[in-house]
Structure 1
């Protein structure tokens, strides 16, 4: 909904001082107009049930209803409204959750004002691309998901450990010394980055090694 040919912006942010900062950045533009601001998602959604907006600048950490749920609801109410997530969060899971719930852009609060303005207009022109540093965060392999390569003997020892076999039993069944069994255990814990047998079995299960 453009007001006097200006792009209408709704701000949802629980820190009043940050809202004032956004006003100081956006108000000088003759193309943008903040039409409403809210410090919680529920009140903002009540407003958006009756009004439309071109852009919503949305914080993720809010009192009550959190950013991802607010974003998803906005998109159901007004599919044509663009949502820019404004946050301090750089965790991969949080970024993915916002994008999954319909955010059109993701911007850190410490970004320069020129970047905020650029992102708003990129989104409106369907030209927005996630910044390279955030792309690297998203596509960086998760260490917990990297499956280490185990030797055939390590696999045997791992299977027996998961079955509750003691070092003595493993040594007897594989015809190797107890010291050799302990060496294999040590190597397994190093490769799976754990400190005890219980954690070893849990991690091996998560990685599909059992």
Structure 2
């Protein structure tokens, strides 16, 4: 758990949602909701001048699409973690958000305890989904699913990558050289046909290859 306050911004076109989130997060002293916006352009201007640790981002906004906005946010402020917070439950939308750099996808009916846990998990470097979202992404269409064969070592490394650990840390834990870990990482990306570690983890979650 971080020793400093976590700066959170909320982007949602419904003021009542913003006020509800503010009230719930205010009960946790570690969180500091520094600003909330109803438009995408406002958060873009804000992060150019202010440090934000977490953004809770809706998809439907009056001036922008949250999926593309997530990508813009990550380009401007790579250290900011974006958690999508939406009523949209289509699998294709969830996957596009993760591919655009989101650190998680929660539906608006997510219980507050699960929301808090998800924020903490994102701060630890994990990608998070609410219970309902997990069920959705675990049921891909047959033509989407690619099930690669993994060695025991690749499975170990995959679990550690999912926990946000670097190649150096993984090498220390498994008594391997960092170069060997990087080779396994590249092989995993190739086997899953993934562009990066985020997409790799998402695909592995779909196939129940990562332990919760």
TM-score in terms of structure 1 length = 0.63
Displacement, 1:78?
1.1
Partner of 1:142: 141
Gaps of 5+ in 1: 147-210
Deviations along 1:105-132, whole A, 9 cap, x unmatched?
1101001111111100010012444345
Counterpart of 2:120? Answer: 121
User: Which position in structure 2 is the counterpart of 1:80?
Assistant: 79
* Count of equivalent residues: 143
Q: Is the 8 A contact 2:118 2:129 kept in 1?
A: no
Instruction: Indicate whether 1:107 and 2:106 are aligned.
Output: yes
How far apart in 1 are the matches of 2:13 and 2:39?
6
- How far did 1:69 drift? 1.3
Give the root-mean-square deviation of aligned CA atoms: 2.0
Deviation at 1:137, TM superposition (A): 1.9
Q: Deviations over 1:162-202 (max 9, x none)?
A: xxxxxxxxxxxxxxxxxxxxxxxxxxxxxxxxxxxxxxxxx
Q: 1:73 to 1:5 in 2, by over 3 A?
A: same
- Alignment match, 1:53: 52
Counterpart residue number, 1:90: 89
Displacement after TM superposition at 1:68 (Å): 1.0
Taking structure 2 as the reference length, what is the TM-score of the superposition?
Answer: 0.63
Whether the aligned pair in 1 keeps the contact of 2:18 and 2:36 (CA below 8 Å) is yes
Equivalent residue for 1:5? 4
- Moved segments of 4+, more than 6 Å: none
- 5+ residue gaps, structure 2, are 145-212
Structure 1 residues 98 and 29: CA distance shift in structure 2, 3 A: same
